[in-house]
């Protein structure tokens, strides 16, 4: 398992105002991000762990999950984390027209706005898949996508020990945006072990710049 796939390095050639692949490395910033939530039973546990380790993170939520779980959305915002947009219901973006992609994004922006008062949010495409067409549309509308530079590979549904072992063997570096998911037990268990280690290593866990 390699947390740094080659395709991610290619995205670094895009302007940062359009595509964020890393955060500021200054003062050992590390940027955890959680996709596909909020999920009752998992998001709360992750919020508890973040609070216990004086850590902030970015949550790329699905519009449909935000509608179902407003109490979790309120808690994420109230505890100083960043809310990001991960589409309304996670379709495969390259398979639907651009107009439909934009309506997924705009509908979700409106839902999230009820919790953080912001009209627009960093957007992370479902499964990280997007077309040049959407990228051009983002450039035209001066919107920004947020990718990641470090993939925890937690969606492979492997045991927490395996996730921890991989991340210890290939430790994240200052500035990395770490991809995770707040929808499963293994991620929570892995974080319980890794967060104190990352704090001890001097990392400051922060929200992404918007």
Q: Exactly one of 69, 181, 182, 183 is catalytic; which is it?
A: 181
Size of the site for Zn ion (CB under 5 A): 2
Query: Judged by CB under 5 A, which stretch of 18-26, 35-43, 130-138, 143-151 contacts Zn ion?
Result: 35-43
Residue 154: CB minimum distance to Zn ion, A: 11
3-class secondary structure, 119: coil
Q: Assess contact for 72 and 158: CB atoms under 8 A.
A: no
36 binds Zn ion (CB under 5 A): yes
Q: Assess contact for 87 and 93: CB atoms under 8 A.
A: yes
CA dihedral over 112, 118, 123, 124, signed as positive or negative: negative
182 catalytic? Reply is no
Listed as own residue / partner, the contacts of 118-122 with beta carbons closer than 8 Å and 24 or more positions apart are 118/83, 118/210, 121/83, 121/84, 121/85, 121/210, 122/20, 122/58, 122/60, 122/82, 122/84, 122/85, 122/146, 122/208, 122/210
Query: Judged by CB under 5 A, which stretch of 3-11, 33-41, 98-106, 164-172 contacts Zn ion?
Result: 33-41
Residue 131: CB minimum distance to Zn ion, A: 17
Query: Judged by CB under 5 A, which stretch of 31-39, 43-51, 63-71, 194-202 contacts Zn ion?
Result: 31-39
Residue 59: CB minimum distance to Zn ion, A: 12
176 binds Zn ion (CB under 5 A): no
170 catalytic? Reply is no
Residue 200: CB minimum distance to Zn ion, A: 30
Residue of the chain from 8, 34, 35, 205 that contacts Zn ion (CB under 5 A): 35
**What CA–CA distance (Å, rounded) separates 141 from 95?**
22
Residue 28: CB minimum distance to Zn ion, A: 27
Residue 73: how many CA atoms within 13 Å on its side-chain side? Answer: 23
Query: Judged by CB under 5 A, which stretch of 6-14, 36-44, 138-146, 170-178 contacts Zn ion?
Result: 36-44
Q: Exactly one of 35, 36, 151, 154 is catalytic; which is it?
A: 35
Q: State the angle between helix axes of 132-140 and 98-116 in degrees (0 to 180), rounded to the nearest 10.
A: 50
**Which residues participate in catalysis according to the annotation?**
35, 181
Residues binding Zn ion (CB under 5 A): 35-36
């Amino acid at each position: 398992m390699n947390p740094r796939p080659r395709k991610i390095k290619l995205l670094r050639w895009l302007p940062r105002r359009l595509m964020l692949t890393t955060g500021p490395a200054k003062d050992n910033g590390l940027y955890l991000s959680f996709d596909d939530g909020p999920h009752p039973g998992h998001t709360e546990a992750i919020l508890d762990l973040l609070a216990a380790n004086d850590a902030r993170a970015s949550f790329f939520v699905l519009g449909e999950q935000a509608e179902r779980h407003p109490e979790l959305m309120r808690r994420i915002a109230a505890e100083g984390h960043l809310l990001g947009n991960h589409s309304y219901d996670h379709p495969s973006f390259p398979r639907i027209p651009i107009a439909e992609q934009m309506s997924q994004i705009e509908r979700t922006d409106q839902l999230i706005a009820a919790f953080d008062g912001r009209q627009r949010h960093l957007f992370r495409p479902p499964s990280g898949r997007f077309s040049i067409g959407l990228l051009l549309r983002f450039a035209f509308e001066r919107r920004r996508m947020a990718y990641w530079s470090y993939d925890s590979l937690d969606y492979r549904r492997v045991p927490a020990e395996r996730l921890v072992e991989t991340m210890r063997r290939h430790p994240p570096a200052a500035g990395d945006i770490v991809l995770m998911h707040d929808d499963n037990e293994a991620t929570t268990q892995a974080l319980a072990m890794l967060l104190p280690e990352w704090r001890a290593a001097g990392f400051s866990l922060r929200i992404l710049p918007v």
